Structure 1
Amino acid sequence: MSTPVQDAPPAETAHPQDAEGAEERAAEEAGEEGADERAQNAWESRKDLRRHSPAFMLGDSARLGGSLIGGSQHGVSGGHVDGDVVLGDKTEIYQLRFGSAGTPSSSGEVPEDELDRLAALFDADEEELAHLTGRLRTERFLVLAGPLSSGRRTAALMLLRRLPVSPIRALDRDLRLGDLPHHLSQGSGHMLCDLMTDPADPLREAQLLALRDELVRKDSYLVITTGPGIVPAEGMPLARWRAPSASLVLRGHLRTLTDEDTARELLRLDAVQAVLAHRPQPREAAGLARLLVSHAQDRTTLERELALYSTLSVERQVQRWFDDPALPLRDKAFLVSLAAFNEAPYAITAELSDQLYTLLHRTENRGIHPHVPVFGTSVDSRLQLARARGYREEEPTEWGPVVQYKAAYEDDRAALVLLREVWTGHPSSRPALVGWLRELADDGRPLVRTRAAATAAVLLTRDLPSALALLVEGWADSPRPHHRVTAAHTLALAHAMEAPHVRNVVGDWARGEHPRLRWTAIRTYALIGEKWPEEALDALRAVVSAAAARTDDEEEEAEEETAEAASSAAVLMVSPAGARVYPQLLAALDEKGAVRRLALRAFLTACEWYDDADPQPSRPAHAARERPVLLNRFGHAVATEAAVTTPGTGTAADETAAIVTLWNTALRDHEHTGHALQVMADWVRCADQDPAAEWALSALLPALATTRPDLDRLSHLLRTMPAVNGGPPPPVAARLLTTLTSRRSPYGPAA
């Protein structure tokens, strides 16, 4: 792990010479540590990126508009949605959720007309409400625990309204539980919202007993609402409240505001279903109802207004989380960690959120060591707080999938919005966030390193100069190869999210004078070059040409860059842009020197890569590798070409011809013949347990034996190559030799 961010020394004791010396020593130590480290190859790097990147990196959610998301400062036009878009503090719950004209006092009697209005709009599971009402009638008071914005306040009022009590009074949330008996009225219902407990002054059973006695004496009732994380005292009648579904709330509001037929018609609209798919909270569903009613006669603008309202809702939710002074810093750290590890195993999210909490605490409470409780944190309460869900799902690993308990935000846009907001809306968090991401980049788990890159990519899309300077450039210029891989992943993901100027950054680094930045740019071309392969290949050709011109003192550096350029070109070859890459490589074969060597080295490098994209059910479990990627593609191309009415034309024919030409050239090139024969032997060994691979080779090998030397070379290989564990050639070699010689003309059997 990297060294955590340390507090800066006082200004009067910090000497520039000491700082410079410390930086030099740190760089030397990092260089020594990274000297023996080898970078993950480009193919495995690409697979890790696809395997572990979060879902919000793909699709429209990565390009949301809005004041916190895309940068545009939008508002609500025409005043159509009144106050419902403004999702403000807890004291605004009545206005926000049900469209009341005013905001009630935080203490005092709740007006009867307000209760009637709420009752007309309230819709929840009747069986659950009846159960809770029965408990309240028997026990006199109830603690209703549920997430913020889940409708717990309104539920408390409706539970009290079902009892024969009047009036219903709202108590001040700042009252101490021990003082509550003195504030109870005769024959009344009472509601205390958002009870906060202090670990230094926890709830006590004696207080609860005294409270119940007073309620019985005054023939009164009390409902307390609180968050899901409360730890109940012994004997406390805790009840878990879960919000009714958004569709249920919306349907109830529409029926009240319009009529049954109109409500049914509005609910069927695709735009409405799209908003409901993001799982809005009850208050948001209530505001959505008013918006629908106000635009019911103007369907041309309805879809736009619905999308705007939905976007604003997730923005406001994120703002409330960060702006709430009552929400503990550790919970805010968990929200950020969940955004970075959305749809990842919960245990990793929780573990690493405590690392972030420690760094945030260092910023907020300098000099005070943070207290991190080891036990006592409920998974359910944390997920409810975050408006998240837990579920079991397979997590891909390099050894195969494993079942993990994962966590994800209910609204799939929340992760992206939250990361952008914490970076730009709360700049004081940047030192802790940067330190945290640096620690994640040094983690031994590929998932964690990839999510560090993904999070940095989000920051890069929002604030390119700062994120580049504070994070990406440091990784890109690091002596540690895994840091440079992380930088390449960050740039690739940012480019996928349409971050500005990423191509310019990569191009400048590739042409620059800094070797590590050049290496990072080369690796990045492997990951983003498929969108413009011609430009990427031109840059790689320039790199290898410049490397070939270097002096003997720079030989090691030149070889490293040449090998990396070949790997990047190989990735482009097997990418979806392969059809545009083959002509470039074939044209390079007609050149001399470094460019020709790049093409052949890239081809043979791609031939060495195996993938599990086309698994064989009959393949033995002990098989170490799957089918070679290029052999698999050749087989598919041959089969596709055979199925067309005009053989020899089309993309499949071009691919088979390109692979045959590259193989022939590699086998005949004295500099690459040995390497090519080794790779071909590996392909044959793979085919020994894979009929599809054998079929593809039976089509490829005869096409490579167009001259007597070609035939002799391949025949000798098949007769003499050892099996996987040594010994005589595998049985498939004899079958392929028969195929090779029987299809050969005009030479006949090889001598």
Structure 2
Amino acid sequence: MTDDDAARTKSEQAPEPGNSAAGGAQAGTGGPGTSGEPRPSGSGKEEQDGIVREGFTRNSFRVGPNVDEELYYSVTSTGATVIGDHSSAANAQIYIGTDDKPGPQAGLITGLDDLQRVYAPAPSDRDLDELLGQRHVVCLTGAPGTGRFTTARVLLARRHGEDSIREIFLPARVDPESLCADKTVPVEGAGHILRLPGGDGARLARLLEERFRQRKASLVLIRDLNAHRATEAGAEVRHERPDPADVFERHLCHLLRRVDGAECRDACGADGCRSRYVRDCLGMSNLRKALADQYRPADIVAIAATVARHLPTDEQAMQRSLATTPPQLRSRAISILLPGEAADRLRHQRIGQYERAFRIAYAVFLHQPLRYVLNATGLLLGLIDEEARRPDLGRPALEHPVDELLGDVLRQDWNDGRSGDPGASRRVHLRNSAMRGAILSVAWHEFDNSRSALLRWLGRLAQDGDATARRASAEIAGLLAHHEFEQVYEELIDGWAQSPRPSVREAAALATAVADRGGEVGTQVREKVREWVHNGTNRQRDTAVLVYAGGMHQPHLGWELADLRRIAKDRMQRHNQVIAEAIYQLYQPAAAGAIVAELSRWRTVVPAGRHAVRAWLALAERPASDGISPEMLARLNSGDVDPRHVAALWRSALLSRERPPKGRPESSRAWDLFGEWMHRADAAPALRASMLELLRRLAVTPALYQRLCFYLPRIFANAGRLPDWLDTV
């Protein structure tokens, strides 16, 4: 008996001949999904019948393309100018197995060559380097955002080489002490970095010292500075920020360098060079002040990027450029929400609150019709009154024009966004969309007793508002979680994740994805998602799979597959296409073999088998990098995936009895996609051998052999006959 014969199960018996497409297959553009409105779920009905998310298309749950710019000042996660947690690590290994709790993993850190060229030394570097020469495990303490991770990467790269630096990731509920007995971590001869959420870094350094010495490896532990505990000499080094002018100079020189590294941009005229231009910039008093006012190196890098983009040549031009940098945006936001002392004395307290509430709502609903701002302002004022334990004072009607409520600064933005059509609905406009995040950050940090009212306000917008209000509130909740993770999740997002309403759970997932985009709470976000999966309810797991479908990844592929495997067991997911979308978002060519092998294991397990079929169909229609061939067919042809697993998944899909509550049977869609594969192989002779081998493996199943005899002539009906290369089957 062959492996393919053994793989057959009773569940794979062929369905009755139906209305599957008989002509040339047309790959759908929507991916795995259904259509229509989510059903309201109350008193467990959702868990019994399964949730149906309709109107679902590819990338439905991804964060909007403008969120990074609007909330996080266009922070990116790639390139040599990356500072702090905004960097990325590429996983060196892939865990695939049945254990939901894999051990520690060491991901390879990339991009260190460019980073070393722009690195500005910190005053504490010498102490850290000396300690690394004496010990194999040291602890680097300091405040978040000061460049600790960058320093650790650069100093370890100098000691171990640029291609030997790894970041250690620990699964949820696994202590760092587990590294003492782990077989794969540390990697021999490599430098390692481990971020500690808390605890005694010096004690852990002593505990791990012998283990890393045996492997000739190094480890830098990064922990936040504890004001109640002194830095321990001989085991810990307190990190200090690099000089702001040095950071600016190195990054600006790098940004001005041409791709070949030989010439500068035309920033300083025919007689100058980029070094002279940088010196001229540093001679401008407004730039020096802006640099001195910065605390985080990342903000200085943002200033350098802005200067490189605008190339100001005098102080007036420099001031215009600085107006778009994070520090200046924050100053502008403060002027919007904190009017001067003289103005406050002339105004009634309620008018000031009214204006601030209106301006906060204006920022929340950027690009949306003004009616959202008006309605949300009244709701926020009512919650402010409730927080102050006073009667709802309401709002005067027909008294305050929008221009007056916006104030001098925002009024200009509002008027600039005026449409040429006098009858068009007015929409919220900000000349610099990054002001959205700046205003909300000031509202969160600069007022006493405001946080509870803001969180309750966002909660009401998500619970009672429409899709636009929910999305806006979720984006702002994610920003606030980036500032105060525990409070925002405890008081707001955790409640959304357990809501009986699918749309509110979607808001929780979006907020979680937005929080992750800021780069400072990524570890906490991933632990929260895994907590929902393994310790939560069905509804929390539904929220978790939405986060994955939005494109968020765990630092190790196996952890995410283990989470999706657990979610697939829930009855409420039986009609849900989101697990398939999560697999689609997870996919990367290097992991093709591991993902296909995992799906092949799912197919024999109820109820995960139905999700294996849906995920396979999503991957089967995914285009390859050439934009023509199906990605999985290209991987099959190159030997990156096991042909036995591919055949098993096609067998389950082509003989599937599953049918969505609305829409075509999955087997019908499978035959369409299979036809696409056949047509592509017919057009590309290099793919035919792999396709013939796949057909042979499928034909050993009697029911599928009958179907192939029926469908193959119809797949090539337009040609009038089967291609000659199929004669050998």
Could you state the TM-score of these two structures normalised by the residue count of structure 1?
0.48
Q: Which has the higher helix share?
A: 1
Which structure is higher in RCO with an 8 Å CA cutoff and minimum separation 6? 2
Larger Rg: 1
